[in-house]
Chains A and B, each alone.
Chain A
Amino acid sequence: MPKIKIPKSSPSIDMTPMVDLAFLLVTFFMLSSTLKSPEPVEVDYPTSISDHIIPKNVIMITIDKGGRVFFDISNAEARKELLANMGTKYKIKFNEEQFKKFSFMSTFGCTMQELPQYIDMESGARKAFNTKGIPLDSLNNQLKDWIFYGNIAALNTGKTNYEEAKLSGEEPEMNDFKPKFILRVDGKAVYVHAQNVINVFRDLKLNNLNFVTSMEMAPL
């Protein structure tokens, strides 16, 4: 019996379109993704329909699941001014190197006394740093000082940025340069923890706060 011959087609397929697409996607994701700076704390945001983006000049308080409080301020110049003020207030001396490191640091949650040690750490090791967060009880309310001096520092840098924008011929709104206060609270955190922090803000007459949320669809 004669064997049935199967027509032999070339085993190599033209992969060019697939490769084109793969590289296109690689390029897209490379350019669109922004590398996240390592943060010492993970937070799961609650969801809301709000679609306002996070403003530029901010003071950000993070509250994790267990109620630990972390502080962050966005502007590098303001950070230096803030650290200088906090150093004088708590009588802690920081050297030039620590100022520089602090100005590029992400959010932190340690007491003033632990801060020099924390700044000297490698950024990778900071996550493992055992801390109870920034204290905010009435006897040792360090958070209040951070917010108070942070607000002053952020106002000053906001003002200089505003003047610069004005000189460069734009028509800036003063309001856009004022510091905004952001609360990043884990959805599972008990609201009382957030309330304690909010009360610190309210004591300083800062009543306009913003909660970070991830977006969900508005019902139609």
Chain B
Amino acid sequence: MADMGEGGGGGGHDKGKKRAKKSSTRVDMTPMVDLAFLLLTFFVLTATFSKPKVMSMVYPAKPDPLDLTKPPKINNAITFLITEGDTLFYYTGQYYSVPTGDKPATVLEETNFGPNGVRKLLADLNKSVLIGKEGLDKQLENKEIQDSTYLRKLIDLKKEREALKVLIKTDDKATTKNFIDLVDELKIAEIGVIAPVDILASELELLKSKIK
């Protein structure tokens, strides 16, 4: 049926008619495919997906030796002391190496980098900001305030008296990973004032006695 036009025979009797040699239309693609997969493997293995990001950090300016005004008193502060490993120590409020007036000497509390450690602690202490932020988020979602207003209000909120301020001190064994992890936790807890400061000698001793 298909070769009706070829001479009407249908029986396959070729009467010397020349036929163009039929070569297969299929090309062997195996080498090409091999190469394609080789390249694919190479690029998959060398590709770096996540580009590194940056985390901004503002350090306190070095005090001017000629400036004799006392540094402002910080309300509602917590100080973290980082050392090696997963544990870190903290105390709230002012530091007293010896009992002063009606205040006892500072005692270090222990916590860790787990979700039940420092994250929970910060969420509790910084509740006013977190609640305030939730309200602002809702206002933004309902289009009651603009983006720029939202950002401005958030910054103001983090500077409020009730907002938690954090000081970070490190000993000579703390790794950068520990430091960044802590700063990361602070950013998660929406803390606006983060100040890495030098550790005092008496604090270092207190920390050492705690580790032993």
- CB neighbors of B among A1-50 (8 A): 12, 15, 18-19, 22-23, 25-26, 29-30, 32-33, 36, 45-50
- Fill in one digit per residue for A188-220: 1 if any B CB lies within 8 Å of its CB, else 0: 111111110010011101011111111100110
Q: Which residues of B contact A205 (CB under 8 A)?
A: 61-62
Residues in A neighbouring B59, C-beta threshold 8 A? 198, 201-202, 207-209
A51-59, A151-159, A167-175: which lies at the interface: A51-59
> Which residues of chain A are within 8 angstroms of B176 by Cβ–Cβ distance?
46, 63, 185-191, 193-194
Q: Which residue of B lies closest to A31 (CB)?
A: B43
* Interface check A182, CB cutoff 8 A: yes
A15 to B188, CA, bound (A): 50
Residue of A26, A54, A198, A210 with highest tally of chain B CB at under 10 A:
A26
Q: Are A195 and B170 in contact (CB-based, < 8 A)?
A: yes
Q: Are A29 and B44 in contact (CB under 8 A)?
A: yes
- Give which listed residue, A15, A46, A52, A195, contacts B180 with CB less than 8 A: A46
Shortest CB distance B155–A (Å): 15
A195 to B198, CA, bound (A): 9
Give complex CA distance A32, B50 in Å. Answer: 12
Shortest CB distance A190–B (Å)? 6
**Chain B positions 35-70 with a Cβ under 8 Å from a chain A Cβ:** 36-37, 39-40, 43-44, 46-48, 50-62
* Known pairs A186-B176, A191-B178, A198-B59; A53 contacts B188 (CB<8 A): no
Instruction: Check if B11 is an interface residue, CB within 8 A of chain A.
Output: no
Most chain A CB within 10 A, of B36, B44, B51, B174, is at B36
Q: Judging by beta carbons under 8 Å apart, are B115 and A219 in contact?
A: yes
Q: Are A46 and B50 neighbours in the complex by a CB distance under 8 Å?
A: no
Q: How far does the Cβ of B207 sit from chain A's closest Cβ, in whole Å?
A: 14
Sorted nearest first, the 7 A-B pairs with minimum C-beta distance are: A29-B43, A187-B177, A50-B55, A46-B180, A210-B54, A48-B184, A22-B36
* Subset of 16 A-B contacts with CB under 8 Å: A19-B29, A22-B33, A22-B37, A29-B43, A29-B44, A30-B43, A33-B46, A33-B47, A46-B177, A50-B184, A186-B176, A191-B175, A202-B59, A202-B61, A207-B59, A210-B55
Q: A residues bordering B, Cβ < 8 Å?
A: 12, 15, 18-19, 22-23, 25-26, 29-30, 32-33, 36, 45-55, 63, 182, 185-195, 198, 201-203, 205, 207-215, 218-219
Interface residues of B (CB under 8 A from A): 26, 29, 32-33, 36-37, 39-40, 43-44, 46-48, 50-62, 82, 115, 119, 170, 172-181, 183-184, 187-188, 196
